[in-house]
Amino acid sequence: MNNHITLTQAIGGYELAFQARHLSEHTLLDYKNTYRKLVEHIGDIPIASVTRHHIVDFLAAQTVSNKTILNYHTGLSALWTWALSEHIVAEHIIHQVPRPKPEKPDIIPFTESDIKAILNAVEHTKLYTARGGSIVSNTRRAASRDRAIILLMLDTGMRATELCELALHQVDLRNKRVSVWGKGSKQRSLPLSPRTSQAIWRYIQAERTEARAGDPLFVTSTGLPLDHHQLLRLLKNAGQRASIPGVHPHRFRHTFAIQYLRNGGDGFTLQRMLGHSTMEMVRTYLQIAQADLENAHRRASPVDNWRL
């Protein structure tokens, strides 16, 4: 074991290794940010001399949410797993540090009227006063792309990074399927509804007829791949135009999952479609869907309504 390899040197070696693992660009940037913060906190000391107490102190010093702390823990665990396999460290100290439990955020799915308002907002610009005093709006140039994005997220529940990394060849409109690479380099095939397939077809015909099979499906107005931050911004802007708060990619994922269960889908199939390794999140969706059913029954029960 080489006891002199510093944290920075080990991180450099691991970065060469994880480039071959098909990790998303978002995950790679997340890991790099974690490693940079660790080096800033404890210094560029030999990785073999880093102790459990260093890590506990580092995580405790971060003024971020538990979810972000959990992401830091995951990134550090990946680094130490690699270092152990390379015989750079003698033990996996991150396994000795308890994983923080993230706060459970409120899950508020979109309503049907929310989605219709958002779709209308991506079709048109914000209302403005034209010459003569009339209130008008214009059709947006990116309308076909943004409509396809929203329907695709709502129809499949795919993650934001999965959507941004889609290439044209991953979408099979003839068979109404889309193939995505999820967390842990796991590939899954998701069905598409006819309406979503039609929206993607219209976008391709309007904007992407010259693109090749390996090119990104969704691009910016300048032809560059749409990234995670640009996706967040376009959805936020659409939400502001529609007067719908909290429009973000994961809310479409929540909406897909809850509507899937409300409409008779089963939890195990949903788990595979979402790309979850466990049923934990699906159980949360099941509880929400079940509560909806119970509320609907109270409203609709003939025994109660007829006071029998």
Which amino acid belongs to residue 198? Q
- β-pair type (177-181, 128-129): unpaired
Active-site positions read 159, 183, 250, 253, 276, 285
- Mutual angle of helices 249-262 and 228-242, in 10-degree steps: 70
Spatial separation of the C-alpha atoms in residues 57 and 63, rounded to whole Å: 12
Burial class (CB in 10 A: 0-12, 13-18, 19+), 1: exposed
Q: Which pair of tokens denotes residue 33?
A: 């940010």
- For the chain, the DSSP string reads --TT-BHHHHHHHHHHHHTTTT--HHHHHHHHHHHHHHHHHH-S-BGGG--HHHHHHHHHT--S-HHHHHHHHHHHHHHHHHHHHTTSSSS-GGGGSPPPPPP-----PPPHHHHHHHHHHHHBPPPEEPTTS-EE--B-TTHHHHHHHHHHHHHH---HHHHHT-BGGGEETTTTEEEEE-GGG-EEEEE--HHHHHHHHHHHHHH-TT--TTSBSSB-TTSPBP-HHHHHHHHHHHHHHHT-S---HHHHHHHHHHHHHHTT--HHHHHHHHT-SSSHHHHHHHHHHHHHHHHHHHHH-HHHHTT-
